[in-house]
Every structure is written in C-alpha cells, then in structure tokens.
Amino acid sequence: MREVAILGVGQTKFGELWDRSFREIGIEAGLQALVDAKLSSADLNALFLGNMASGSLIDQEHIAPLILDYAGLGGRHLPAVRVEGGGASGALALHQGYLAVASGLYDYVVVGGAEKLTDVPDATASDITSSTADHEWEVVFGATLAGLWALIARRHMHDFGTTREELARVPVHDHAMGSKNPLAHFRNKLTLEQVLGAGAVAEPLGVLDCAPLSDGAAAVVLGPLEVARRHTDTPIRIAASQVACDTMALHHRKEVTTLESTVVAAQRAFTQARRAPRDVKVAEIHDAYSISALVALEDLGFVEKGRAGPAFASGQFAPGASLTVNPSGGLKAQGCPFGAVGVAQVVELVRQLRGEAKDRQVAGADLALAHDVGGTGATSVVHLLERAG
Amino acid sequence: MKAGIVSYGAYVPRYRITPKEIGRVWGSDGEAMGQGLNVYRKSVPSPDEDTITISTEALRTALVRGAIDPQQIGAVYVGSESHPYAVKPSATVVAQAVGATPNLTAADFEFACKAGTAAIQTCLGLVGAEMVRYGVAIGTDTSQGAPGDALEYSASAGGAAFVIGREHVICSVLRTLSYTTDTPDFWRREGQKYPSHGGRFTGEPAYFRHVTECAHQVMKASGTSAKDYQHVVFHQPNGKFPQRVGRQLGFSEAQMRYGLVTPFIGNTYSGAALIGLANVLDHAGPGERILMVGYGSGAGSDGFDLETTDEIARFDRSFGKPVQWYLDQGQELTYAVYAKFRGKIHMGED
C-alpha cells in the first residue's frame, strides 16, 4: 500500500444556500481543491463523492457523473463514484479515495462531499435524515435522529450523572469556535442560558443542542505521498483511515451510551498510525447533538467513559488545552450538510496542520483526528492526519 | 398624482380562535407558538361568509361613508387568493350587490397577499387617466392553513375596500412603486385545498427582501426617511415580521401602532395591509404621512407614499364599525366548531 497525502482542499460556505444549486456548490468546492493542489483537471484519475440523499432532497440520483459533467469533464470518461453512509457519507468517500490511491490504481483523486438540505420543507428533511436510522424498526414507530440521540442522552445522564448544563456546554463551545470561521452556517456566540432556555426538540435536547439543516460542499485532492511535494510545501499524510459498522437500530446495542463502531474505528486507526489518543492535538468530532460530542470524546479514547460531561465543562477540550475539539465550530455551528460533513472536517484539519487556520489556529497542531458518524452509530469513520515530515 | 383614496371600509368576521386552542388539538404549545408569531387570536369566518360577502360588507361601508353613488363606479377589482370560484368572478357579485352594475369593468386579482394593493394601483391608473370616475379596490381573504401546519395558527379572514377617485380625496397617493421577482416561497396549485410554503425560505429571501427593498425605493424616490412618516403599514403575515422589518427600516413602535392589526385578528392575507391602512385612516387627522408596503408571495411588494388631506377632517366615519372594534370584539370558538365552520370535517358525499 502506498502512503497517501492530501494535496489540496476546498469548501463552500455552509448555510441556507437558497440561491445556489447542488451542482454549483459541488463544483466550487472541487475546483478550489484542485487549484489548492496546483493540479489541473487533466491530471485527475477519479472522483469519489459523498452524499446522503440527493434523490430525496433534490430529485437527482447519479450525481457523481453529474458533477464531473458540469465541471467540464464529461468527455474525459473518468470513473466517478457516489458513496453513501448516512451522515458519514463524506468520510466514507474519503476512505474510498484513500484506498484507491493507496492501492496504486489511481494517482490523483478528488474526494468531495455535498448535500443540499434546504430545498425541501424542514419536516421532510427531518424525515429523510431520520431514515439513516433503522426505518423498519425505529423510524416507523416515530423515532427521529433527535429522538434517538435524546434516548442516548437520557441514559448517559442516568448512568453517569451527566447534567443538562454539561450537555449545553457543547453548543456554547461550538458557536464560540464557529464565530471565527467565515464559512460557518452560524457565527453568533451562544450563552449557557440561551441553550438551556431554547425550546425542546426531544428532551433533554433543545433546539440549540441540535445541528442545523445546512447546504454545503467540501472537497480534498488526494495523491501519492511520494510526489506530494511537487504540489504543496505542506503535504498532509493520511496516517490512518478506518471504518467500523454496528447494528442499525439502537435497541440492538449492548449499551446505548457507547458507539462501538466509534470505539473500534478509533482503535484500528490508532493501531494503523502507531499513535495514541494523547498524541492528538486537534480533532473534529461528530456533534450533531450535544450528547453526540460527549459520547464521541469517550469512545475515541480522549476521556474515560462517563466523564466527558465534567471534562468538557472544565475546559479540557477548549483552545489552549492539550486537545482542542471542533475548531471549525463542528456540525452545530459550522453546519451540517450531511454528505459534506466528513470532508469538511478534514478540510479544517488540513488547514490546522498547515498552520493556515488564522485566528482559530490550534498551536502546535501536528496530529489531527476526524470522526464522522452515520445515524446513531451504524457507521463510524475515523481518520488520523499528520504533517508529512 | 391627482387620484387618491376618497373612502374606505373594513370588515372582519366576528369569530375568533386562539393559537392555544389550536395547539391543544395538535399536541403543540400553541400559546408559545402564538407568542413567537405575535398572534393572540385569529378571525374565523362564519359558514355563510366568504371573500364575496366580506368584500361586499367592506365596500358597502365605504360607499355610505363617502356618500358615493354606486352607479358612478367604473371599475371593481377584488384581490384575493381565496375567491369562492376558480372560474366566475367575485368582482361581478360584489358590484351587483352594491348596485354598481352594469356599466363598469370588473375583475378578480390574485397575487397571494398583495392582490388588494395591486388593485389599488390599477384603480389609480384608471382614475388618474380619467377613464372612470371611481375605481374600487378590495383586498379580502378567507385563507386556510392545512390542519396542524404552522400556517393554521395565523391564517384568518377579513378584508378592506378602498374607493379611488379624484374629488374629495381624503388621502393622497404621492407615489406608488413595486418591487417584483420570481421567488417561489408560498403557493397553492389549482385544485389544492391548502397552500404549501417554503418554511424559513418565506423569511429573508422573500418577505424581508421585497418589503425592505420596496420601502427603500419609495423613500429614496420621495426623498424621505422613516422620521418623515407618522404611520407605517406593512404586510403582516404574523405580528413578528412587520415589527422586525419596521425596526430594521428605522420605524418606532409608535409609528407602527395603528398599522399592525394581525396580533388581534390573524393574517387576513390580501386584507392584511389594507385593514392596517384602514385602521390608520380611522385615527389620522389632516396632513399625516403614511408609508404602506404590501407583500405577496411569489413575490412582490407594492409601496405607497400616502398623505391625508384636509378632507379627512370632514370625512364621516360614523357608518360601519371602526377597525378597532373588530380588533377588540369577537366570539371565541373551540377547535371543533372552528373545524366545522372551515369545512375541515368530512361530511360524506356532497
């Protein structure tokens, strides 16, 4: 297997992009990444595109060749593949792109993630995103993603004494981070009181505990590490790319407060990279709901099971700590265009590792972790990234 | 502009329902919903009321107040998105009911919530060109939101009629202009019972963009700013949007006081801005400047720079009810009776 590097990154603004089409944002992110990698489209060998539900959201399937076509590459007959894994679609696409370059079959691939959630009414979008849980055994009985994560939150509070206030610290942190990110959906800061006072979505989770429905796209260009310096002074090596899956339905898990897919994907990733959680300086973790972030910190090995609430509230993951999480603002503040999320996490981490993250730069960032989840953890994807020596 | 408002009348059905009562049925916190929308009650038409009866009631009031001979009316336009018939005009029924037929032109207008202000502009043209002596512009609706939909908390019924003429003008139209785009924020297709809407899309790119742009353009063309107006009236799909747009444009609560009626009667769609204007005229003395900006989904805004004249001091408002009466009174219904009145209960084969 060849070593794989990230040579270029690109991302659109996240938000309610009512005046922009799916193909437009997909192409914008991809072209930004190509320019950043100092590559022309003639150098490309393949496209992998992460997307959760374009058929339901914009009435368009078969979107990977669509993006190539509208990028002016229709006549080049490149392979283009759409990758779907619920909310983890983007990270899963990166995994596929990584395998393709690592295998030696392709040299240069673009990995994109794109989603347009605001072309359908909010209730429809909620139905569609909830279908990333088990439709037959969860959703038809009325469960939504928010409802299922609320069950996880309730149990976490019951088993470990996690408090409502500790949950609310997550969106406060995310919005503080997002306020420094020009691409973020939300750039307003939140107070603890605002989060606690917001209307309930699925108790204990309120409106401000939940990531928004966003539009957006992100892309990275991958290539062999051995030639990376031709394209960039700061190639970023993919030190690990791991995927793990679990039961679709929450009620089939041994414990609902642990996402075993995350535990296993993280263990595999640290083994592959020969590193440990304590080595990670900056991480983008799945925080679609405030409870998601706390569970992720535990399952990734950054804090003991059950202790994430107090640890987060004490500032253990804030800027200046040994590990800073979600400098982009996370899904909560940067935004949550499902299929784009996993790629956008990596875009942010590449900027952090290159030292290009401006006023949200995490000092000394040399090893970064990206964690993306589909549904309630039926799929977890963990990537470890580091500056190539 | 020589043509202006010579008389007006408003009508709102007597029944009311509260957001709390609606929420009770759907398992929602209706009271919080109402507070969020700044809507405390909405009007409900009786089973025997529709756009035609409401329009007729409002126009009769206007004709008596202005002592206008209906046979001198040369045009009747009824603006609504809830005309009782898809094919067969409301305007002819209204014209016949007030005795204005047969020597006049009549038509129905539809532009979501701004069909009434569009009708005023058309009448200003006809009257200004001296093609007719009086033109009647009416904005009325009995619109509905789908059961349980957010719209159900605000969609109500009511209307106002304005007589446009050249003699005894009580309110001059100094300027009117429109701002129109193709913006699909709210729609109802042929045969559909309830409208569809784009959720949050109905806000920034739709209502706020059009109302704000139109207001700016009117004030720029007139060389005015917010402080030059005693009153301002906006389209008011709820009580919150007009307050926000008013603040953004620099208007005070005092300037918005009379023009904002939706919190007490709900969103009367084509009637909303016009009932607000009627309420302003109920309270205005001579020489008061009024900015009115309507909005219709689809989308467009009609802006009017208005000024009351000395004639308004002599205008006899005693016939018919003032708008304030409709805001204050009302008989509250349970959801069950409301559902019956609004035809939401399936009665078997008709």
Please report, as a single letter, which amino acid is at residue B159.
G
Mean of pLDDT over chain A: 97
What are the pLDDT digits (tens) for A329-371?
999 999 999 999 999 999 999 999 999 999 999 999 999 999 9
Higher pLDDT, A23 or B200: A23
pLDDT at A266: 98
pLDDT of residue B1: 53
**Could you read off the pLDDT of B213-228 as tens digits, one per residue?**
999 999 999 999 999 9
- Helices B30-37 and B19-26 pack at an angle, to 10 degrees, of 140
Burial of B130 (0-12, 13-18, 19+ CB in 10 A): exposed
Would you call B201 and A19 a contact, using CB atoms and an 8 Å cutoff? no
Query: Tokens representing A47?
Result: 């496209």
The CATH superfamily assigned to A4-121+214-230 is: Thiolase/Chalcone synthase (3.40.47.10)
Same domain, B116 and B10: yes
Q: Residues of chain B with pLDDT > 70: what percent?
A: 99
Residue among A246, A256, A247 nearest A158 (CA)? A256
Q: How far is it, in rounded angstroms, from Cα B305 to Cα A156?
A: 60
Helix axes B272-283, B115-128, angle to 10 degrees: 60
CA–CA separation, B153 vs B29, rounded Å?
Answer: 11
Residue closest to A338 by CA, chosen among A22, A53, A21, A37: A53
Strands of A37-128, DSSP E: 46-50, 80-83, 109-116
A66 contacts A99 by C-beta, under 8 angstroms: no
Which of A16, A19, A199 shows the shortest C-beta gap to B200?
A16
Question: Which residue on chain B is closest to A119 by alpha carbon?
Answer: B198
Q: Quick one: average pLDDT of B103-131?
A: 98
Both tokens assigned to B151: 């719209």
Q: What is the mean pLDDT of residues A105-116?
A: 98
Is residue B346 a part of any domain in this protein? no
Dihedral pair phi/psi, residue A96, rounded to 5°: -65, -40
- Using the CB atoms, write b or e for A194-206: b if 16+ within 10 Å: bbbebeebbebbb
Please identify which residue in the block is written with the tokens 């964690």: A371
> Which of B32, B199, B205 lies at the smallest CB-CB distance from A121?
B199
A121 contacts in chain B (CB < 8 Å): 196-199
Is B215 part of a structural domain of the chain? yes
Amino acid symbol at A5:
A
pTM: 0.86
Instruction: Report d(CA B125, CA A216) in Å as an integer.
Output: 47
Kindly list the residues from chain A whose CB atom is less than 8 angstroms away from the CB atom of residue B29: 199
Is the pLDDT confidence value at B293 over 60?
yes
**What dihedral do alpha carbons A126, A127, A131, A133 form, nearest 10°?**
60
pLDDT of residue A271 exceeding 80: yes
Note whether B92 and B187 are same-domain residues.
no
Note whether residue B349 is domain-resident. no
Q: How far apart are CA B326 and CA B158, in angstroms?
A: 10
Distance from CA of B303 to the nearest CA of A (A): 25
- Taking the C-alpha atoms of residue B284 and residue B309, their distance in angstroms, rounded to an integer, is 10
Per-residue tokens: A155: 């149990």
Does the annotation count B113 as an active-site position?
A: yes
Q: pLDDT tens digit string along B10-40?
A: 999 999 999 999 999 999 999 999 999 999 9
Of all residues in chain B, the one with the smallest CA distance to A213 is B200
* A356: Cβ contacts below 8 Å, ≥ 6 apart: none
Q: Name the strand (E) or helix (H) holding A379.
A: strand A379-387
Interface of B with A (CB under 8 A): 29, 32, 196-201, 205
Q: Which two tokens stand for residue A331?
A: 């899904």
For residues B192 and B64, give the distance between their C-alpha atoms in angstroms, rounded to a whole number. Answer: 38
User: Which fold does the domain A133-212+239-387 belong to in CATH?
Assistant: Peroxisomal Thiolase; Chain A, domain 1 (3.40.47)
Q: How close is the nearest chain B Cα to the Cα of A306, in Å?
A: 34
- In chain A, the residue whose alpha carbon lies closest to the alpha carbon of B32 is A199
Flag whether pLDDT at B350 surpasses 80: no
Do B120 and B262 sit in the same domain of this protein? Answer: no
Burial class (CB in 10 A: 0-12, 13-18, 19+), A306: middle
| A19 contacts B199? CB cut-off 8 A | no
Residue B34 Cα, gap to closest chain A Cα (Å): 14
Residue B205: which of A18, A121, A122 has the nearest Cβ? A18
Sign of the CA dihedral with A269 first, then A274, A278, and A279 last: negative
Residues forming a β-bridge with A219: A10, A112
Mean pLDDT confidence for A15-31: 96
CA distance B68 to B349: 45
**Alpha-helical runs (H) found in B190-261:** 209-222, 240-248, 253-256
User: In this predicted structure, what is the pLDDT of residue A274?
Assistant: 98
Minimal-distance CA residue of chain A relative to B186: A121
Structure tokens at B46: 């009786």
What φ, ψ does residue B135 adopt, rounded to 5°?
-120, 140
Burial, A225: exposed, middle or buried (Cβ in 10 Å; 0-12, 13-18, 19+)?
Answer: buried
Q: Does residue B129 lie within any of the structural domains?
A: yes
Q: Which amino acid does the sequence have at A29?
A: A
Please indicate, yes or no, whether residues B47 and B163 belong to a single structural domain of this protein: yes
pLDDT 10s digits, A124-176:
999 999 999 999 999 999 999 999 999 999 999 999 999 999 999 999 999 99
Residue B33, min C-alpha distance to chain A (Å):
11
H-helix segments, B27-136: 30-37, 51-65, 90-97, 115-128
Q: What total number of domains does chain B contain?
A: 2
Do B224 and B133 share a structural domain? no
Q: State the smallest CA–CA distance between residue B121 and chain A in angstroms.
A: 31
Q: Do domains A4-121+214-230 and A133-212+239-387 have the same CATH topology?
A: yes
Q: Which of B57, B113, B123, B288 is catalytic?
A: B113
Mutate to test the interface with A, among B26, B37, B151, B200 (most CBs of A within 10 A): B200
Residue B198 confidence (pLDDT): 87
Q: Which residues in chain A touch residue B151, judged by CB atoms under 8 angstroms apart?
A: none
Rounded to the nearest integer, the mean pLDDT of chain B is: 96
Please report residues of A whose CB lies closer than 8 A to that of B32. 199
Query: How confident is the model over A11-16, as a mean pLDDT?
Result: 98
Residue A199 clears pLDDT 60, i.e. is over it: yes
Residue type (1 letter), B22: I
- CATH of residue B166's domain is 3.40.47.10
CB contact under 8 A, A16 and B199: no
Q: Are residues B209 and B322 in the same domain?
A: no
Contact A289, A210 (CB under 8 A): yes
pLDDT tens column, A209-251: 999 999 999 999 999 999 999 999 999 999 999 999 999 999 9
**Terminal C-alpha separation, chain A:** 19
Q: Domain spans of chain A?
A: 4-121+214-230, 133-212+239-387
Domain range for B239? 172-312
Share of chain B above pLDDT 90, in %: 93
Q: How confident is the model at residue B144 (pLDDT cuts 50, 70, 90)?
A: confident
Chain A, chain B: beta-carbon pairs less than 8 Å apart: 15
CB B301 within 8 A of CB B207: no
Residue B350 lies in a domain: no
Are B233 and B151 members of one domain? no
Residues of B in contact with A124 (CB under 8 A): none
Q: How far is CA A197 from CA A164, A186, A313, B309, in A?
A: 11, 18, 18, 50
